[in-house]
Amino acid sequence: MRPQREYHIVVLGAAQFVQNVWIESYDPTIEDSYRKQIEVDGRQCILEILDTAGTEQFSSPHPPSYTGRFQPLSSRPHADVGSLFRELYMKQGQGFLLVFSITSMSSLNELSELREQIIRIKEDEKVPIVIVGNKSDLEEDRAVQRARAFALSQSWGNAPYYETSARRRANVNEVFIDLCRQIIRKDLQGNSKSSDSDRKREGGKRQDRRKDKKRQNRRKGPCVIL
């Protein structure tokens, strides 16, 4: 039996992408609540999902204030230039889910900043990333057209884009499998000792090919986007 692989996945973005929502009583304080086992191409992978939900205000910049107490400002811009606290997570991550809510355009706009931070920290343009448009069950409230998301995907070197519904458990596993596949491929490339630039070029090509296929699939029907 092949040894189990264990990967750290970092979930980032505005929309909380809660795992295990289907269980009757979700307790996030236990260790296992952030672990997930999936099968990728016949291989068992353990994913440890790191999520900074709820700590967005830690180590994020804020407007000046001389009172010593934080003053809630209604006009406070939410865009994080970068959070040092989040970096702790990012450093651990091998793959990244960048989640926005299809009901909020600003949540999509925040992703670019996050990606920049990831690339800066990982010092890698081709870090495994999947873009996730969550809350696909709220189609009637959609604020982000798919074309917008695809455009973002293209500008990020064709990072795969999925629309999911965490609440309905739609497409969630697919997201993790895709990301996991990317990480595995990257691992293998790392082992092959190819030079950095070669690897990048080659990896990029392969990813492009795969993603072209994927995109075709996506466009064929709603099998991916639910």
Q: Which of residues 42-71 bind other proteins (CB under 8 A)?
A: 48, 50-66, 68-70
When asked if residue 201 is in the footprint of other proteins (CB under 8 A), the reply is no
List beta partners, residue 129: 96
Site for other proteins in 88-127 (CB under 8 A): 88-89, 91-94, 120-124, 127
Q: What's the helix, strand, coil split of the chain in %, to 5?
A: 40, 20, 40
Is 16 a residue that touches other proteins (CB under 8 A)?
A: yes
Residue 191 or residue 216: which is nearer to other proteins going by CB?
191
Query: Integer distance in angstroms from the first to the last C-alpha of the chain?
Result: 35
What is the closest distance, in whole angstroms, from the C-beta atom of residue 153 to other proteins in the complex?
Answer: 21
Q: How many Cβ atoms from other residues are within 10 Å of residue 72's Cβ?
A: 6
Judged by CB, which is closer to other proteins: 141, or 212?
141
- Using the minimum distance from each CB to other proteins, give the nearer residue, 42 or 68: 68
**Distance separating alpha carbons of residues 42 and 95, to the nearest angstrom:** 19
Query: Contact letters (x/-) for other proteins, 18-47, by CB under 8 A?
Result: xxxx--xxxxxxxx-xxx------------
If one asks whether residue 196 binds other proteins (CB under 8 A), the answer comes out as yes
Neighbours of 91 (CB within 10 A): 11
Q: Does 137 sit near other proteins (CB under 8 A)?
A: no
- List 77, 155, 157, 223, residue binding other proteins (CB under 8 A): 77
CB atoms within 10 A of CB 77: 10
Stretch that binds other proteins, among 36-44, 147-155, 184-192, 202-210 (CB under 8 A): 184-192
Which amino acid, residue 191?
N
Residue with token string 């790392």: 190
Task: Please say which residue, 11 or 152, places its beta carbon nearer to other proteins.
Answer: 11
Nearest approach in angstroms of CB 139 to other proteins is 20
66, HSE (Cβ side, Cα atoms, 13 Å):
0
Q: Which residues, in sequence order, are CB contacts of 71 under 8 Å at separation 6+?
A: 65
Site for other proteins in 139-178 (CB under 8 A): none
Q: Is the distance from CB of 211 to CB of 149 less than 8 angstroms?
A: no
